[in-house]
Amino acid sequence: MIKTVFALLAVLGFLWAPLGRTAEPDSVAGKWHFVFDTPGGDREFDALFEVNADKVTGKWGISESDKNGAAVAGTYSEKKLALEFPANSEEVGPGTMKITGQLADDGTLSGDWSFQDYSGTFKATKVKEDAAK
């Protein structure tokens, strides 16, 4: 009898699990890891976004040692991200970073970036928060 109850609970658990999950993300809020395709090779950046209605704010270029980064400003609506904010590059100096991207059903972001005379494509993945922190 007990085995039957556990077997029934296991089956119900498998059937119920897909109903409780959301198949696609609906926000870009959180920490992201960006990889820019540049003429000099891949460049990696981390960003932290907050979303309020369709407005995006946050920090760009953050690291474990530097949580400050550049202040981000932009919009997010219908899975489309558009950012434009002042940034500073060690190689070429200050300028305006522009990023446009699309949130895919698998939770990744991809799109285009431009900074001064440079431009290219990017891919970004959401960083899973470490539960131990």
Decide if 118 contacts 95 (C-beta within 8 A). Answer: no
Q: Give residue 64's domain range.
A: 30-126
Which one has a higher pLDDT value, 13 or 79?
79
Residue 35, in any domain of the structure: yes
Residue 4 lies in a domain: no
Go through the chain and tell me how many residues it has.
133
Contacts from 15-24 at CB under 8 Å and sequence distance 24+? 23/105, 24/105, 24/107
How buried is 76 (Cβ within 10 angstroms: 0-12 exposed, 13-18 middle, 19+ buried)? buried
Q: Is the pLDDT of residue 124 over 50?
A: yes
User: Is residue 17 assigned to a domain?
Assistant: no
The predicted-structure confidence for 18-74, as pLDDT tens digits, reads as follows 444 333 357 899 999 999 999 889 999 999 999 999 999 999 998 776 677 899 999
Query: Which two three-digit tokens encode residue 15?
Result: 């059937």
- Whether pLDDT at 126 is above 90: yes
| Total tally of structural domains belonging to the chain | 1
User: Does residue 90 lie within any of the structural domains?
Assistant: yes
Distance CA 125, CA 34 (A): 7
